[in-house]
Amino acid sequence: MSYDSLSDFVSELEDDGDLVRVSAEVDPVFEIAEITRRRCASGGESPALCFDNVKGCPIPLVTNLLGSQRRMCRALRTASFDEVAARIVGLMEPELPQGWIESLKLVPHVSELTKLPPKSVKSGICQQVVKMGRDVDLAELPILTCWPNEAAPTITMGQVFTEHPKSHLRHVGLSPLEVRGQNRLAVHWNVHQESWRHFTEHRALGRQMPVAVVLGGDPVYTYMATAPLPPHTDACLLGGLLRGENVNLVKCRSIDLEVPADAEIVIEGLIDTAAELEPAGPIAWPTGFYGEREELPTLQVTALTHRSNPFYPAMIPGPPPMDEYWLGKATERVMVPFLKLLLPEIVDLHMPRAGLFRNLLFVSIRKQYPQQARQVMNGLWGLGQLAVAKMVVVVDENVDVHDEEQVWYDVGANTHPGRDVVFCEGPTHMTDHAAPVRGMGHKMGIDATRKSFEEGHPRNWPERLAVNEEIAEMVTRRWSEYGFD
């Protein structure tokens, strides 16, 4: 089932004891972020937090909404991330029928596919309250300042809706927006994002660019805004699949864009593409560091609409464990079946928490010929979001890539650094402060697989130690006879 609003999700979490309400007055400057960080760092699966009494603002604020595997799976309507991946792959590749009886197998696929496309509706709860022009004041929202050196309060959980000026294809991304005054926002895009390409196309045509910032709604919308979809794929289509029903879209009040009708809050505006980019930042990134001060486009807010009793959702930027970690973990598991279609030798993939889903990637392969590990590295570096993976470690199929100690054991045992460590140049993640030039630098691959003579290893490769299964089974049966618990 889908959620009719974010308040439905919040109520369900509260009923299950997975949300804590804070009634004491709290300050949106630093205090809420500090409380959330402490709860997230306390160990275990920390609950979502709802702050009912935010200083200077009547709107309650929720943090850590997706900050656990349980809540992330609940938002995606699934028991596990792998189940979501199987559902998506099953819809993309239904079995071809061999006869009329076999064709009945496709009926569930067809039935579900008809629910996927977004649907335009005439009205939505996101427009129960409408403020236009001079009546707009962003200070009415409990926008957080999370870290001491941030330049200004920043919207951290806004789904940014844009549209290509020629094809009118919709794009939804999750980008920080820095408050620049009563009705202006600096949009923290970068050149790797589709939204930035939409901006440059509008600028080339000399047109103003409409932008809508959506807060809340069905929690699946936050995930669909982060999913690494193929080019020209509407994120709302993925949202429909994950919801099990259409995403209902309503036309904005001041710009020619559509947004989810069940959103909590919508900020509408226009970017004057002819205007000079303005210096903005720094803001905090999920890497655990501040971003650089940079030149960015500015959004002039033309309307602010919301539910009559909205929640304001926020993510606290910083290293794991935070919401962005679980968004990344969901994407990792969803990506695996697609990667196996492109690179069939892949057995499994894991992005360690310490690598922040950009710095470290472990992959196990079914190795069949020399240098196959390097082929996989280059294949992964040629695939969309994985193009910016800084370090890729390839191991044999018997290694559990989710057991990080086991991976590093094989790196230490199977790697000859002068032969098995490779470097290449290319794009890097825009938040990678170690790259000498922003967005460009080196990437490293480590081949920790078993080596053959053809790969320059002139000696016999030793067999891995393995116990005698018959003896192991016998010892298990007799364990208590030995006097052990």
Question: Is 1 a member of any domain?
Answer: no
- In whole angstroms, give the CA distance from residue 188 to residue 190: 7
pLDDT above 70: residue 103: no
Query: How does residue 110 score in pLDDT terms, banded at 50, 70 and 90?
Result: very low
Q: What pLDDT sits at residue 102? A: 46
Domain count, the chain: 2
Query: 398: domain CATH number?
Result: 3.40.1670.10
pLDDT mean over 114-134 = 90
Question: Is 480 a member of any domain?
Answer: no
Query: How does residue 417 score in pLDDT terms, banded at 50, 70 and 90?
Result: very high
Question: Is 173 a member of any domain?
Answer: yes
- Is residue 140 domain-shared with residue 19, that is, in the same domain? yes
Q: Which range, 80-94, 220-234, 354-368, is most confident?
A: 354-368
Q: What pLDDT sits at residue 107? A: 44
pLDDT above 90: residue 100: no
pLDDT above 50: residue 217: yes
Q: What angle do CA 16, 18, 21 make, to 5 degrees?
A: 110
Question: Is 198 a member of any domain?
Answer: yes
Q: What pLDDT sits at residue 204? A: 97
Q: What pLDDT sits at residue 386? A: 87
pLDDT above 60: residue 55: yes
Q: What pLDDT sits at residue 112? A: 55
- Is residue 135 domain-shared with residue 22, that is, in the same domain? yes
Question: Is 29 a member of any domain?
Answer: yes
* Residues contacting 464, CB < 8 A, separation 6+: 398
284-304 confidence digits (pLDDT tens): 999 999 999 999 999 999 999
Q: Which two tokens stand for residue 370?
A: 């020399």
- Is residue 374 domain-shared with residue 226, that is, in the same domain? no
Q: What pLDDT sits at residue 172? A: 96
258-290 confidence digits (pLDDT tens): 999 999 999 999 999 999 999 999 999 999 999
- Is residue 54 domain-shared with residue 193, that is, in the same domain? yes
- Is residue 273 domain-shared with residue 354, that is, in the same domain? no
420-473 confidence digits (pLDDT tens): 999 999 898 888 899 999 999 999 999 999 999 999 899 999 999 999 999 999
- Is residue 287 domain-shared with residue 388, that is, in the same domain? no
Q: Return the higher-pLDDT residue of 194 and 232.
A: 194
Burial annotation 244-262 (CB, 10 A radius, 16+ → b, else e): ebbbbbbbbebbebbbbbb
Q: Mean pLDDT across the chain, nearest whole number?
A: 91
Distances (CA, A) of 350 to 102, 329, 401, 407, 431: 37, 9, 6, 10, 21
- Is residue 408 domain-shared with residue 450, that is, in the same domain? yes
pLDDT above 50: residue 95: no
- Is residue 73 domain-shared with residue 122, that is, in the same domain? yes
pLDDT mean over 32-46 = 89
Residue 116, SS3 per DSSP: coil
- Is residue 23 domain-shared with residue 84, that is, in the same domain? yes
Per the confidence metrics, is the pTM higher than 0.85?
yes
pLDDT above 80: residue 378: yes
- Is residue 444 domain-shared with residue 298, that is, in the same domain? no
Q: Is 458 exposed, middle or buried (0-12, 13-18, 19+ CB in 10 A)?
A: exposed
4-25 confidence digits (pLDDT tens): 889 999 999 999 999 999 999 9
- Is residue 230 domain-shared with residue 94, that is, in the same domain? yes
Give counts: helices (H), strands (E), the chain.
Answer: 14, 23
Q: What pLDDT sits at residue 335? A: 85
Final residue in a domain of this structure, among 297, 314, 331:
314
Question: Is 327 a member of any domain?
Answer: no
Give the domain range for residue 68: 6-314
Q: What pLDDT sits at residue 91? A: 59
Question: Is 328 a member of any domain?
Answer: no
Query: 30: domain CATH number?
Result: 2.30.110.10
- Is residue 408 domain-shared with residue 302, that is, in the same domain? no
- DSSP run (H or E) holding 215: strand 209-215
Evaluate whether 145 touches 29 at the Cβ level (below 8 Å): yes
Question: Is 461 a member of any domain?
Answer: no
Q: Return the higher-pLDDT residue of 481 and 109.
A: 481
